[in-house]
Amino acid sequence: MFQLAAFTDEISQDFEHAVAVCQEYGVPAVEIRSVWQKKGPQDLLDGELARMLDILGAARMTTACIASPFLKCDLGDEDAYRAHLGILRRCCQVARMMGTDIIRGFTFWRVPDLTEAQYRQILAHFEEPCRILSGEGMRLGIENEHSCNVGTGLELRKFLDDLRACGYPGCERVGAIWDPANQVFANVPETPYPDGYEAVRADMIHMHVKDAQWEGTQCVCTAVGDGAVDYEGQFQALTDDGYMGYCSLETHWRPQALTEEEVKRPGGAAYSESGEYASRTCLENISRMLAQLG
């Protein structure tokens, strides 16, 4: 059966405290995004990573995924693209040190009315990342992210199929990070579960757990279980399908809503403020749902 993980910065910037909260709820793994006010996992120093490993070791916990911001940048900005290749290389080092082989990635900020030529440009920009992954022995999970060019399960399915058709060495190391709530934000006819999940499940290497719903013309995050995602059905399907990876809580919901910019570029002290209360609420809701699985 799948196991739970949690983004530590959805609880606190204090890594040790976040790990303690995870322990309290029986969550055996963490996802690393921002720690001690660092902007991203690529900004963490080796000494800081060693300290994190000591904390996890004392708690008998592990790392599920490195939540990098790889390719959350503008398509066509070649300087930014080269900088993000550097982010990927550093995150490979971070992942190895933290004991995981999964790094999160994206598909550039969403381009309105994306043309076929632009889509092919995105695919071409994955040749070098695939080579890096192959050399490092790492896997890249592409998250369906509504603010990027792959925002739904169906878009992610097409992207993975088209990437493999390119035949780049190492392209088999690129899989899916399924985020049902991001499909809610994308505002498409297909449901997160079962429609989006059915599209990506064959290549799913990791999953994020958060919830959202539309209120008039605005989509807002909610506590897990209170939004539009059928998490009872989703968790049961994961169990029935024999998914053995992690489902990582990425709370996003707060008693006072995060700004749009904080949702697009999460991390840091302001982002983590009041996150512990929200994450505890979500973990309690998830625990109740998991207890009812058949």
Q: Which two tokens stand for residue 143?
A: 């998250």
Global pTM value: 0.95
**Which residue range(s) make up the domain with 92?**
3-291
Q: What pLDDT was estimated at residue 255?
A: 80
Query: What's the angle, vertex CA 106, arms to CA 105 and CA 110, rounded to 5?
Result: 170
Q: Which two tokens stand for residue 211?
A: 């919830």
Domain count, the chain: 1
Between residues 185 and 259, the one the model is more confident about: 185
What whole-number distance in Å separates Cα of residue 140 and Cα of residue 132?
10
Listed in sequence order, the DSSP H helices in 67-167 are: 78-98, 116-124, 127-136, 153-166
For the cut 70, the answer to whether the pLDDT of residue 182 exceeds it is yes
Query: What's the angle, vertex CA 10, arms to CA 287 and CA 209, rounded to 5?
Result: 45
Which residue is it, tokens 């990437």? 163
Q: What pLDDT was estimated at residue 146?
A: 96
List 247's β-bridge partners, or say none.
Answer: 4, 207
Local confidence band at 271 (pLDDT 50, 70, 90 cut-offs) = confident
Q: What pLDDT was estimated at residue 294?
A: 75
Over residues 3-20, the pLDDT tens digits come to: 999 999 999 999 999 999
Q: Can you tell me the mean pLDDT for 272-280?
A: 90
For the cut 90, the answer to whether the pLDDT of residue 39 exceeds it is no
Q: What is the dihedral of CA 29, 263, 85, 248, to 10 degrees?
A: 20
Q: Which two tokens stand for residue 248?
A: 């990582």
Contact 230, 191 (CB under 8 A): yes
What whole-number distance in Å separates Cα of residue 211 and Cα of residue 227?
5
What whole-number distance in Å separates Cα of residue 122 and Cα of residue 212?
28
Omega before residue 194 within 30° of 0, cis:
yes
Question: Pairing relation of β-strands 211-215 and 218-222?
Answer: antiparallel
Local confidence band at 145 (pLDDT 50, 70, 90 cut-offs) = very high
Q: What is the CATH number of the domain that holds 154?
A: 3.20.20.150
List 204's β-bridge partners, or say none.
Answer: 176
How many other C-beta atoms are found inside a 10 Å radius of the C-beta of residue 142?
Answer: 26
What whole-number distance in Å separates Cα of residue 14 and Cα of residue 167?
43
How far apart, in Å, are the Cα atoms of 231 and each of 24, 65, 178, 281?
A: 22, 21, 13, 15
Local confidence band at 263 (pLDDT 50, 70, 90 cut-offs) = low
Average pLDDT in the chain: 96
Local confidence band at 273 (pLDDT 50, 70, 90 cut-offs) = confident
Contact 266, 33 (CB under 8 A): yes
Burial class of residue 184 in the structure, from the number of CB atoms within 10 Å of its CB (0-12 exposed, 13-18 middle, 19+ buried): buried
Q: What pLDDT was estimated at residue 239?
A: 97
What whole-number distance in Å separates Cα of residue 19 and Cα of residue 7?
10
Q: Which two tokens stand for residue 116?
A: 């076929």
The pLDDT > 90 percentage for the chain reads 91
